[in-house]
Structure 1
Amino acid sequence: MSAIRALRQLTTASSRAAVLRSTSAGVRARSVSGLMSPRAFSVSARSFGQGTADVALSNKLQEELKYEKESMVDLPKEPEFLQGFKAQGRWQIEDTPLHDEVTLTRKFGNENLRLTFSIVDIRGEQEDFDNEAASEENDEDGSQEEEVLNTYPIRASLTVTKSSTPGSLAVDMMCQEGQFVIDNITYYQEGSLASDLTAEADWKRRGIYMGPQFDTLDIGLQEEFDKFLQERGIDQSLALFIPEFAEFKEQGEYVRWLEGVKGFVDA
């Protein structure tokens, strides 16, 4: 969720409470004075399906859609951070509209790397306001000069396969604040198990040793694994790109969702 939308929702929620109180008082006053009369909503609602609330819902969806599109009208179709990432030519982005998962792929020597993350992990509202509050405090007291990273904790899964062996590595990580924090590294003798989503593969994975908790490994071994991943592009620049792209995609998917829901309600 974008910071603008989160702030707008907070403001709307406060305004809505005040409007409801005002409306309730007005309704009670009209009821007492005998000015209220029953209204039939079914006539106008029939063109929007069978519900009496269809028209109001459609209008509200249109209002939200209009607001979102107007807020994006001056923005480039492909933001600068995404252009720069593509210009590096290191990773290929597999981004399917109306899907919440994004996959980055690349080759490294005889290896195939596949990193997957989901925009579902975005926790926009709380992180946005926490970071804004922290920035304001830093500006006021001047005690901290470090920039507050506006990033979201996003879980990522990396699979590494080789053309010369049937095995594979699967690395479960958390991407946050410009770095990857490894949870565990699993080795699969049958390489397809690292990415196969079938019920049979899921059943096989349940009986496989998933590897130790990464932070329990010898420090030296942890450092060598970190170097292994950084050499393959699992580095700070990628850790900063993922949350930024996730927020960019979430905004686009939200607009598609509004369009789809409105189209369905109006049909």
Structure 2
Amino acid sequence: MLSLRTVARSAPRTLNRLSSTALRQSRVARPSSLLKSSWAPLRSSQFASAFSTSQFRQAASEVDEELSVKLDSEIQFEGSMKEVDQLPASVKDFLENSPFELKDEPGKEDVTLTRKFNNETITVTFSISDLTNYENEDLYNEDALGEDEFESEGGNRQARQETDELLEDEEEEGNEAPVPCRLNVVVEKPGKGALNIEALAQDGQVMVENFYYFKDAKLAHGDTAEIAHIAQDVYPGPPFGTLDEDLQLLMERYLEERGVTQALAVFIPDYMDVKEQREYQAWLKQVKGFIDA
């Protein structure tokens, strides 16, 4: 599902598209005045230069001022939302009671959780880029569906309306489904390589997609493009879904014992929302500071 801010900002898309289309058509339909002026000789190049320079300077100044005011308005709005909203209970409980240590560097998309378990080092990495990509994909699908229905005479408008009403009811009841988030879990032992588990945190569950093994622990992290390229040439193991079911269950229990649990699956999507909000506010302030400089 989409965040409230994303939904609010997606509403005027259709109007903007129509306005842009009309503007392009008007420019194409009336080229004669531009063509005539291009052939007319300039009698005073000094006058033309002075006029255009002052005009653009004034326009730039006005746009900068309006943009700065708008950015300030957004900053004030987001600040008021921050004061009202409290940190989700799932986030507070996890940070206070979990054995994982959180590493969240401002300005970076990736978030890392690390812990020790016996002689093992366990790292769980996720990214707020999943949230942005998920929302953009949903908006694109909604726009495409709306355009198809508008252009097609046989479009099932009633079905679309029923779907919209169902989504509105879910949002009003507070049953908005969390965004699915990809997890990269690495379990490594000194001198023994590492296990690399690719999983999905969704609906309070951790769903394992791949369970790999690398003799070189560096390949499991893929910190650089070179290491990631080398890892592609190594056979890490078969797809998780092709394994014996009992083996799959035991591997899932193996992860749960190391803290990759339902509590983690609930925490990560909620923390993604918190971090995305923080990064958005920081972005607004940085852009305003640049405009005002």
TM-score (norm 2): 0.70
Q: CA deviation at 1:55?
A: 2.4
Partner of 1:3: 3
Partner of 1:68: 78
Greater helix content: 2
Bigger Cα Rg: 2
Alpha-carbon distance in 2 for matches of 1:73, 1:236: 29
* Residue in structure 1 matching 2:89, options 63, 71, 80: 80
Alignment check: 8 A CA contact 2:222 2:231 kept: no
Alignment check: 8 A CA contact 1:2 1:247 kept: no
* Residue in structure 2 matching 1:136, options 144, 169, 180: 169
Partner of 2:186: 159
Alpha-carbon distance in 1 for matches of 2:183, 2:170: 31
Alpha-carbon distance in 1 for matches of 2:79, 2:98: 30
Secondary structure of residue in 1 paired with 2:241: helix
Matched, 1:116 2:125: yes
Alpha-carbon distance in 2 for matches of 1:149, 1:63: 28
Give a deviation string over 1:41-66, Cα, whole Å, max 9, x none: 624745xxxxx632232222222222
Matched, 1:198 2:224: yes
Flag structure 2 segments of 5+ consecutive residues without an equivalent: 24-51, 143-162
Listed as ranges, the matches of 1:1-267 within 5 Å are 3-11=3-11, 13=13, 40=55, 42-43=57-58, 45-46=60-61, 53-76=63-86, 78-122=87-131, 123-124=134-135, 126=138, 133-134=166-167, 136=169, 148=175, 150-163=177-190, 165-267=191-293
Q: CA deviation at 1:174?
A: 1.3
Alpha-carbon distance in 1 for matches of 2:222, 2:17: 48
Flag structure 1 segments of 5+ consecutive residues without an equivalent: 25-37, 47-51, 141-146
> Alpha carbons of 1:137 and 1:118: their partners in 2 closer, same or farther (altered >3 Å)?
closer
Secondary structure of residue in 1 paired with 2:283: helix
Partner of 2:37: none
Alpha-carbon distance in 2 for matches of 1:249, 1:124: 15
Secondary structure of residue in 1 paired with 2:207: strand
Quote the sequence identity (%).
Answer: 34
